[in-house]
Structure 1
């Protein structure tokens, strides 16, 4: 029987990063993955492939809609080759998962392919088809991730009524894609196909899209996506989804109880994700799992069984790849006797539409609810020289700061490249920066980052220079 200091179950961003950190710290480490490729949902059917399609569709959209104004003339018809886009996406995925395999070899991490299930608190059975073997683990880190959720009355046929997994490998551009759920995944994939010529309708139960983010971001993104042609049905409760002869019919009731009917050729069900523990047999190890399927952990991500930890989508908190990575590193370092920490308030959230949306810290709604005395500063992207030069003038940066101490409490952005820009805000807030601290930092000109400086200036005695 093979024996290890640490066994990680699941090779997504949380799992493989945790395994690497454990190996770096001198632990004999193994990782168990049920699929033939490493990387989990993020690398195979999530973050990476969706960004590949977003980039391809963005290039196409620019060629059709914006090249001419930049003085780029293309003779002949511009066509969207969905098969090539999917092929390129697959190539990007292959490169990334091959990179993870290389990292496992480099760090001398033993990889087991198969379903990992507990026999008891220190023994895990790995089953691959009809073959199985039992390995021994001094410590186990559960990183089994999540799967797309659905609604009880929706039957996912994975042909016309689909999840994000199927939406990433369609063989045709939908004529009318009906997206159920106005969150991150639905909006990103909706925009992919909107750019390629599909009609896209978004049905959202709550009164706005991206409901977990600052309301100002939701309002601006709705305005921009409507301008691009996306249709929204907010405050609508879906009551039926049916597929017959290639036509998907979605019925939903509005706040007044009135029913709308939408007919399309595809419906993307994007109503969130659920923790995935199928086949784990956590009960055999005595690990507590909540009614919602989440593994219960303490502040050190330790389960009720002392030698078993859990990280990522399978525990409480935002289901984000980078959050899982931080948790994976934290557990590895705890096992090594170190004292790491994670400030969950400083885990940024991003929507990779165009314009991009990014945020960190408290929203304005949260500060109001907590009765925090705060001040706000904002700056529109249209006032930036860099934005005018690129033509990306939609959006703004908003900074929320404590009214008395000036400490930055939240930063909310929508605009070009804000997915990268949000790291500036995270860094500043990690070191308890004030709005004035950011305002006094030199920002290169011309850059999108100048919007952060200007918003900070606006929060500091309303003294923005360019507004």
Structure 2
């Protein structure tokens, strides 16, 4: 079969690319080896983890806040099998939704695992298909760690953590990044004793320092133990438990702790095995990513790459933007992604969201800036809903007042950050936000108050 475009991988980048290209009139196929579409994100990543985060947040509300609101009832009982069934139902709804969109847009699903034997050819099983253009959207996989052998039962990645046979009494999380803290938060709410081991001296590396410090304090308040500066030396699955050995970097002292389950969450790496890229001569980066130019072209004519397989943040929404842009480019239109305005979100409670510069990056660049910050304690809606932890921080140029970055830790931070993304896309100032009417009472009023704080000062503080 011959196509204008074959997309390898049906994750957020791949399926968006395939659908958009089909909308632009191209004959498109998408290769996927899983039994369902949607890639890691929909099957064993973003969507199922958010389902469990939501379920356990509801559990927390019932256990701690319902009675305060006059909702007296027996404490809820956790039905773990039922919770997993709910999670699986959410996955099914979303993956079937992608299948429907493929049919609606006349995208062929070629089932199986792909390789590229030569430019313009994609081999799946015994069949070889021809394509004018190929887009690699193969995603990523969990990064290994020396001395830690994953069995997805006792020592697990995020995939295994989403389908444990029972709730562990004690869990060790290796890695204080987004995945480790989200999944650790799920099991902490379910009653597990969770210990996070982070190699660096702070959690969520690369984030705003004040946000990271506040976030760590709030997670500890929720019962999670966080040990920073911990270099994990090994993890071993025994008959009835797991054992993790680590050394504290500050004094080289060695420690051993036991747990029922160990979650390895030290990051992800591009999943490109089996594609035949070495034989094709596709240039790779030092970090094992596919090297591309600004139009997503690899070093081999006719082959493009997007998403987690190339440089940039490994985020589903970044991959989706890549997919949309490369489809436009292949179809002869302009395709563009503003990588300076890709927001990052951690879906714990409270949520953490950010976009643009941090105070640390601005200081390193020697750029003069000002800070507008407001606590959710000053927000009436947040106090009414027992969600007053955290703050909104805006960073603006000291002279021009142009917005440079935003950092939110608090309720619905992942939704509120987009007001700032849109504003920054249009080069708005903090004053532009401050002079825009915000509905009352809403959490978003905190964004406006932070904008006021960049000027003469907030009203409610």
TM-score (norm 1): 0.97
Residues 52-93 of structure 1 deviation map (CA, whole Å, 9 limit, x = unaligned): 000111111111111111111113x53111111101000000
User: Distance in 2 between the 1:452 and 1:23 partners?
Assistant: 39
Residues 122-160 of structure 1 deviation map (CA, whole Å, 9 limit, x = unaligned): 111012xxxx20000100010000001121221112111
Residues 431-461 of structure 1 deviation map (CA, whole Å, 9 limit, x = unaligned): 0000000010000000000010000110123
How many pairs were matched up? 460
SS at match of 2:4: strand
Q: Could you tell which deviates more after superposition, 146-155 or 14-23?
A: 146-155
Superposition deviation, residue 114 in structure 1: 0.6
| Residue 427 of structure 2 is aligned to residue 429 of structure 1 | no
294, 301, 316: which one aligns with 1:299: 294
Which residue number in structure 1 is paired with residue 51 of structure 2?
Answer: 52
| Residue 448 of structure 2 is aligned to residue 444 of structure 1 | no
User: Distance in 2 between the 1:46 and 1:80 partners?
Assistant: 22
Residues 144-190 of structure 1 deviation map (CA, whole Å, 9 limit, x = unaligned): 00001121221112111110000001121110100000000000000
Superposition deviation, residue 252 in structure 1: 1.1
366, 384, 391: which one aligns with 2:361: 366
240, 243, 249: which one aligns with 1:249: 243
Superposition deviation, residue 372 in structure 1: 0.8
Superposition deviation, residue 364 in structure 1: 0.8
TM-score (norm 2): 0.99
Superposition deviation, residue 244 in structure 1: 1.0
Which residue number in structure 2 is paired with residue 288 of structure 1?
Answer: 283
Which residue number in structure 1 is paired with residue 310 of structure 2?
Answer: 315
Which residue number in structure 2 is paired with residue 349 of structure 1?
Answer: 344
Q: Please say if residues 121 and 286 of structure 1, whose CA atoms lie closer than 8 Å, have aligned partners that are also in contact.
A: no
Q: Please say if residues 143 and 310 of structure 1, whose CA atoms lie closer than 8 Å, have aligned partners that are also in contact.
A: yes
Superposition deviation, residue 312 in structure 1: 0.2
How does 1:198-213 map onto structure 2 within 5 Å? 198-213=192-207
Residues 324-351 of structure 1 deviation map (CA, whole Å, 9 limit, x = unaligned): 0000111111112222221101000000
Which residue number in structure 2 is paired with residue 398 of structure 1?
Answer: 393
Residues 83-104 of structure 1 deviation map (CA, whole Å, 9 limit, x = unaligned): 1110100000000000000000
Q: Please say if residues 153 and 164 of structure 2, whose CA atoms lie closer than 8 Å, have aligned partners that are also in contact.
A: no
Which residue number in structure 2 is paired with residue 144 of structure 1?
Answer: 138
User: Distance in 1 between the 2:38 and 2:321 partners?
Assistant: 16
User: Distance in 1 between the 2:200 and 2:400 partners?
Assistant: 35
C-alpha RMSD of the superposition: 0.9
Which residue number in structure 2 is paired with residue 135 of structure 1?
Answer: 129
112, 115, 122: which one aligns with 1:114: 112
SS at match of 1:156: coil
Q: Please say if residues 356 and 414 of structure 1, whose CA atoms lie closer than 8 Å, have aligned partners that are also in contact.
A: yes
User: Distance in 2 between the 1:29 and 1:411 partners?
Assistant: 39
SS at match of 1:44: helix
How does 1:148-227 map onto structure 2 within 5 Å? 148-227=142-221
Superposition deviation, residue 278 in structure 1: 1.1
Residues 10-41 of structure 1 deviation map (CA, whole Å, 9 limit, x = unaligned): 00000000000000100000000011110000
Which residue number in structure 2 is paired with residue 465 of structure 1?
Answer: 459
User: Distance in 2 between the 1:339 and 1:208 partners?
Assistant: 40
| Residue 376 of structure 2 is aligned to residue 386 of structure 1 | no
SS at match of 2:159: helix
User: Distance in 1 between the 2:292 and 2:269 partners?
Assistant: 17
Gaps of 5+ in 2: none
User: Distance in 2 between the 1:260 and 1:285 partners?
Assistant: 47
Superposition deviation, residue 282 in structure 1: 1.6
How does 1:331-350 map onto structure 2 within 5 Å? 331-350=326-345
Superposition deviation, residue 393 in structure 1: 0.5
